[in-house]
Amino acid sequence: MGAITRGAAAAFEREMAASEILAGGADSGAASHSLCTDAAPVPNGGPPLGVKYQPNATEGQDFESGTATGGWKCLRFSINQPIYYQYHYLQGTQITGPTGTRPDPGATGFEAGAVGNLDADAVNSYFIRGGAVDAATGQLALATQIYIENEYE
């Protein structure tokens, strides 16, 4: 969760501005900061049930998907080794499934999460960290802790 959260924060800090050629004395368009848009869950379809999943390193697949402004490429996040968990990144909403109370990032925030089911039963483990942009300051504030539910499942 740390690497995905750091990737989201770094993407937010990158200035996005149109490429322009300016005449002398002219101003450029305003630069902006924005969060990456959603990344498709990896693996698709749910967490591996008591087995590992080998991410597909083919361009456009798994962690090799997205653009400069959205998905795993925007986050600059990838895993090349077999994984026990399904990884998520959602902008403007919460990851579905957990039953406990955690901070809601709202429309201006994100959640990064890992969902696992190591013993292949009906109960998933959740590890989630989020952040939200403060409307007053324009700064990204990150959750102080990782939300954990059913840690040993």
For 104-145, what is each residue's pLDDT tens digit?
A: 999 999 999 999 999 999 999 999 999 999 989 989 999 999
pLDDT of residue 17: 53
Q: Whole-model pTM?
A: 0.87
CA distance 141 to 110: 11
The separation between CA 12 and the C-alpha centre of its own chain, rounded to angstroms, equals 12
Distant-in-sequence, close-in-space partners of 89: CB < 8 Å, separation ≥ 6: 4, 8, 36, 38, 39, 71, 72, 75, 77, 110, 111, 112, 113
Give the domain ranges of the chain. Answer: 2-15+36-149
Of all residues in the chain, the percent with pLDDT exceeding 90 is: 78
- Banded model confidence at residue 22, pLDDT cuts 50, 70, 90: confident
Distant-in-sequence, close-in-space partners of 31: CB < 8 Å, separation ≥ 6: 15, 16, 17
- Interval 67-89 mean pLDDT: 96
Q: How many other CB atoms are found less than 10 A from the CB of residue 129?
A: 24
pLDDT digits (tens, 9 = 90+) for 29-50: 655 678 999 999 999 999 999 9
CA distance 3 to 142: 13
pLDDT of residue 16: 60
